[in-house]
Structure 1
Amino acid sequence: MDCSDSRTAVSARIDGEAPPPEIPDGVLDAHLRECAACREWARRAERLRELTTRLSEW
């Protein structure tokens, strides 16, 4: 899997959207287990989502 595709799927997951049809959850999860760069990207994207949600609640 291409890291760019992985990050698109992670973004959709974080936003509560359906993943791209060509990237089922199992495929994405397998890529994240193998790719440290995408795991870090996902961690940072989740953190950004948390922070923006908190700010919007002010």
Structure 2
Amino acid sequence: MGRGRRWSTTEDEALVRLYLHISQSPVDGTEQKAAAFRKNILDTFHATVNPPHR
């Protein structure tokens, strides 16, 4: 099984920005469980940057 396609530089940068934004959220920030945190990042990424093909 292959590893899938690589993330583009634009996608990488968007994920980093979302990671920082969501991790520093005064509402949820450090209180989120790891799975919820990752889901929040990917859901926001798919809603704002790219269609959900990942």
Give the TM-score normalised by the residue count of structure 1.
Answer: 0.36
Q: Which has the higher helix share?
A: 1
Give the TM-score normalised by the residue count of structure 2.
Answer: 0.38
